[in-house]
Amino acid sequence: MPHPRPVALVTGAARRLGAAIARRLHAAGYDLVLHYRRSAADMATLVARLEGERPGSVLTLQADLAEYDRLPELVAHTIGRYGRLDALVNNASAFSPTPLGTITPADWDAQFLINARAPLVLAQSAAPHLKATRGAIVNLVDLYAERPLRDHVVYCMSKAALVAATRALALELAPEVRVNAIAPGAILWPDDGKAEAAKSALLARTPLGRTGSEDEIADAVLWLLQGAGYTTGHVLPVDGGRLLQG
């Protein structure tokens, strides 16, 4: 008997944006496969909450997305548990500075393998299952793919590659599967902090004059998955209007 609810695979789902996306999709009726790398305690807390609301609705999978062979395994475990896949949300991301003149092959791999290769390989592995359900993919990109951030050359390039992959996959997987992306603006400050002057300068370039919320990103993900039936290959800025001012 087919699984009765839609199923979403979300990478980097233990905390921050990933956890907000997981909570929103779960509330909308999705059963979930939640990937994490290191944040086991955060994942356990999230799963306890979601399983308390709907027992048997969450499968967690630990993996380093830089390891190629683990990527098809995530999809295989999803199908093994639920027998279907309706949504892939490529949320996991690597972010670190790479000033020009200091960039090494390890810097390249650390960000490109997570930000560009992993979403592509996951999409490739998920494609037959998403076609069967006429599902959708949402990639989390960045405004910096279009407007580069100083001293973050490799990160900006990796997110630009994911934008290109979003558009190319939209062509390759149409008409059965829609593929879109979200480019968040100032939503969450980095874990290691950000100078107050830098925060103020960033918000001064944001017409809405505030940071966005995790839930606003999660709402946009849900809309692209369920409500945007005639939208594919699109990058949706959720940035408070920041791109308007450059």
Q: Which residues are catalytic?
A: 155
Whether 245 and 47 have beta carbons less than 8 Å apart is answered as no
Contact between 75 and 87 under an 8 Å Cβ cutoff? The reply is no
Residue in this structure with the two tokens 């692209």, named with its chain if needed: 224
Here the tokens at position 198 are 């830098």
User: Please, are residues 161 and 112 in contact by the beta-carbon 8 Å criterion?
Assistant: yes
CB-based contacts of 116, cutoff 8 Å, min separation 6: 158, 161, 162, 165
Cis peptide before 97 (omega within 30 of 0): no
Number of helices (H) and strands (E) in the chain: give both, helices first. Answer: 8, 7
The answer to whether the beta carbons of residues 184 and 220 sit under 8 Å apart is no
